[in-house]
């Protein structure tokens, strides 16, 4: 036998031994499918430590697993690459789902076959589910429904999924059936248990007593919120102090009503956050508290936790103390009205309303403090990355009458800066004292995404040398965005930088917040609508203000648990709010088929590109496969006569709108 044949034989034997070694070891993880049937397993630590990445599952080896299932799998080598074969489903991640019910007549030869199927909304559930006629629950063809899977599809043996319809919401191309279906699909708690409502109602009737609290009822304290806000949990006061300022941020003392381990607390823990979309809110707390006893309504006494943040002339925080207080908000401020007063002064038609809190130099102090805080943010290169927030006008009939990009004026930015200062001051105070906390942390940007961003910037002639270093800090990104702005590409590149950012999260361990340039940061200012803020309040009152050291260990453990739960709830709320934006926008665009709009490309794929109009409608333009080239490294599509890149202006017309799919399709004009 020749040396070459011996070498090839040894190589083949080694490959077979490797295959056998891999195949006999069973691993576990969570499966996620794609719309094409194949998928990936996010394996547990043991596998990831060994192989370093999620493992590919070809469609032929998915077996009866569906997205979200916890599975057992073995690995094999195919064409030199590792792939997973699912051997068993440990637990189901998807039991119910929402979709569209279809009554299908299909002729096969001389035989008419009738099928009842539900087509899932989630494209990762890449199968239709057959429904026996007795389990239709009065659903009509084209209805949005909630379906329960009774048997799962088996790709190996070509066996379809079966299920039952639990609920029909109504026509899938109408708005509110889709709203209610989205809420159910997200598992959102929309109703409070009777016992929770009764407890909240009884607590809301309590009289507010000053007792041993700091009495601030005579201070110049007021709120500024949106015109439609009802859950006002923060109020402000500002006083000049030598060359600096004392910023008072007075936050509703929700913890005085929602005590640890009470029925109210358990419900708030499960919800984690209030959810806002269009003209609706799903509150974390019952309305008797969120809009009533805990809301800092004007002219009434309210319990508060008041943070007094000392700020020097350059915006640096030099000290922070927190007190239990009683306040009485002097004015219920509205952003648009305060912006008018800032712009017009005594000539504003709203000046008389705000004179008690903005007169006699009050506005001057507020603006001076705001400028100082902005100076500090600029000095440490806090990122100014603003995504376009879409707003909707809803008619009396509940239909969407208008869509627009919400604009932020000076007063919105003032409140943002003041709340950032309070959150940073409180986090620093708890860290310095060695007390537990639920921190808000934000990691450095994804380096691979930044490399792709640099390649794209180079391709459109924007100076990207700031992104060349081994470590990309806030100053580097700030310099890059300045270059982008000079080149007239500031908006799209700011949007793309935002997509490179890591997701902020809650963590019981202190770590920097990259986007803000802060060494430590927490959420303290919204306990009516965020559970982590409520936890921070409890820690402050128990350990900082009342020095109950015996509860340190308990609260430290509680902070870990609350951070983990809050991250899960935030993920759910964020996805739901985005889905609702898409849904309401699709509803607004339903009657606009054929209408033309100016738009800007926001992203490209191998199939086409996304474009967004000036009022926030984002649709997909599908390009033909023939003669179309997708160049991923520079985010570009090239056709025979045109090139499409993010940031390019395009003219589009509305070609199709699917309310059920929350999808808008455009054509180029």
Residues 6+ apart with CB under 8 A from 17: none
Task: Check if the beta carbon of residue 291 is closer than 8 Å to that of residue 205.
Answer: no
Q: What is the pTM of this model?
A: 0.89
d(CA 193, CA 177): 24
Kind plus residue range of the DSSP H or E element containing 367: helix 362-379
Rounded to 5 degrees, φ, ψ at 399 are -90, 155
Q: What is the pLDDT of residue 618?
A: 97
Q: Which long-range contacts (CB under 8 A, 24 or more apart) does 519-522 make?
A: 519/428, 520/424, 520/427, 520/428, 520/431, 520/439, 521/423, 521/424, 521/427, 521/439, 521/440, 521/441, 521/442, 522/423, 522/426, 522/427, 522/430, 522/437, 522/438, 522/439, 522/440
Q: Determine which helix (DSSP H) or strand (DSSP E) holds 613, and give its type and residue range.
A: strand 608-613
Helices (DSSP H) in 38-139: which residue ranges?
45-51
> pLDDT value at position 82?
87
Query: Which residue numbers in the chain have pLDDT < 70?
Result: 1-24, 51-52, 106-112, 386
Domains parsed from the chain with CATH numbers: 15-91 (2.40.50.140), 96-172 (2.40.50.700), 194-443+505-581 (no CATH), 447-500 (no CATH), 590-668 (2.40.50.140)
The CA distance from 227 to 340, in Å, is 14
Q: What are phi and psi of 77, to 5 degrees?
A: -105, 130
- Is residue 30 a contact partner of residue 42, using CB atoms and an 8 Å limit? yes
C-alpha distance from residue 237 to each of 223, 248, 473, 534 (Å)? 9, 5, 34, 22
Question: 159 - beta bridge partners?
Answer: 154
C-beta of residue 611 within 8 angstroms of C-beta of residue 600: yes
Backbone φ, ψ for residue 315 (5° rounding):
85, 0
Q: Strand, coil or helix: what is 313?
A: coil
How far apart CA 548 and CA 534 sit, in angstroms, is 18
What local confidence, expressed as pLDDT, does residue 22 receive?
A: 47
Using CB atoms within 10 Å of the CB of residue 229, give its burial: 0 to 12 exposed, 13 to 18 middle, 19+ buried: middle
How does 315-349 read in b/e, with b if 16+ C-beta sit within 10 Å?
bebeebebebbbbbbbbbbbbebbbbbbeeeeebe
How high is the pLDDT of residue 23? 47
């Amino acid at each position: 036998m020749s040396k070459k044949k011996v070498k090839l034989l040894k190589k083949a034997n080694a490959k077979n031994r490797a295959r056998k070694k891999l195949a006999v070891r069973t691993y576990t993880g969570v499966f996620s499918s794609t719309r094409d049937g194949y998928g990936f397993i996010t394996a547990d630590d043991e596998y990831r430590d060994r192989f370093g990445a999620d493992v590919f599952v070809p469609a032929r080896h998915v077996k009866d697993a569906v997205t979200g299932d916890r599975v057992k799998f073995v690995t094999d080598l195919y064409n030199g690459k590792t792939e997973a074969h699912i051997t068993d489903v440990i637990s189901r991640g998807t039991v119910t789902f929402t979709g569209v019910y279809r009554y299908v007549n299909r002729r096969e030869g001389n035989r008419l076959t009738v099928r009842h199927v539900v087509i899932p909304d989630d494209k990762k559930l890449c199968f239709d589910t057959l429904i026996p006629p007795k389990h239709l629950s009065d659903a009509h063809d084209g209805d949005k429904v909630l379906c329960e899977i009774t048997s799962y599809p088996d790709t190996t043996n070509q066996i379809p999924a079966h299920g039952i319809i639990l609920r029909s919401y109504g026509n899938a191309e109408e708005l509110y059936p889709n709203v209610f279906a989205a809420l159910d699909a997200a598992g959102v708690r929309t109703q409070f248990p009777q016992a929770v409502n009764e407890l909240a109602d009884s607590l809301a009737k309590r009289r507010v007593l000053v007792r041993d609290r700091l009495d601030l009822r005579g201070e110049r304290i007021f709120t500024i919120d949106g015109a439609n806000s009802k859950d006002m949990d923060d109020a402000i006061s500002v006083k000049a102090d030598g060359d600096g300022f004392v910023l008072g941020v007075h936050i509703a003392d929700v913890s005085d009503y929602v005590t640890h381990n009470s029925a109210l607390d358990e419900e708030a823990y499960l919800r984690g956050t209030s959810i806002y979309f269009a003209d609706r809110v799903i509150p974390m707390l019952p309305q008797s508290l969120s809009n009533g006893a805990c809301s800092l309504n004007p002219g009434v006494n309210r319990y508060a936790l008041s943070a007094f943040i000392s700020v020097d002339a350059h915006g640096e925080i030099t000290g922070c103390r927190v007190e239990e207080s009683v306040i009485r908000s002097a004015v219920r401020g509205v952003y648009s009205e305060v912006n008018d007063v800032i712009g017009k002064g005594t000539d504003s038609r709203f000046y008389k309303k705000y004179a008690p809190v903005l007169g006699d130099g009050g506005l001057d102090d507020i603006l001076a403090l705001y400028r100082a805080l902005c100076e500090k943010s600029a000095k440490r290169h806090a990122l100014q990355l603003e995504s376009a927030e879409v707003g909707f006008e809803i008619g009396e009939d509940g239909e969407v009458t208008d869509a627009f990009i919400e604009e932020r004026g000076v007063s919105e930015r003032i409140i943002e800066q003041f709340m950032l200062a309070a959150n940073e001051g409180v986090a620093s105070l708890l860290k310095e004292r060695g007390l537990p906390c639920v921190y808000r942390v934000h990691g450095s940007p994804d380096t691979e995404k930044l490399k792709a961003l640099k390649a794209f910037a180079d391709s459109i002639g924007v100076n990207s040398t700031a992104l060349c270093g081994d470590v990309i800090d806030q100053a580097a990104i700030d310099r890059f965005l300045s270059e982008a702005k000079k080149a007239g590409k500031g908006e799209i590149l700011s949007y793309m930088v935002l997509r490179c950012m890591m997701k902020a999260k809650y963590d019981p361990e202190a770590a920097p917040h990259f986007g803000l340039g802060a060494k430590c940061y927490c959420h303290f200012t919204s306990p009516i609508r965020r559970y982590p803020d409520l936890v921070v309040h409890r820690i402050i009152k128990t350990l900082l203000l009342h020095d109950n050291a015996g509860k340190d260990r308990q609260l430290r453990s509680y902070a870990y648990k609350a951070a983990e739960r809050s991250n899960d709830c935030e993920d759910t709320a964020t996805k739901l709010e985005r889905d609702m934006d898409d849904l309401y926008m699709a509803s607004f665009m339903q009657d606009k088929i054929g209408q033309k709009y100016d738009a800007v490309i926001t992203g490209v794929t191998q199939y086409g590109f996304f474009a967004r109009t000036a009022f926030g409608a984002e649709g997909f333009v599908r390009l033909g496969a023939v003669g179309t080239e997708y160049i991923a490294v520079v985010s570009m599509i090239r056709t025979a006569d045109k090139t499409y890149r993010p940031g390019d202006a395009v003219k589009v017309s509305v070609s199709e709108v699917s309310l059920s799919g929350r999808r808008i399709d455009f054509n180029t004009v």
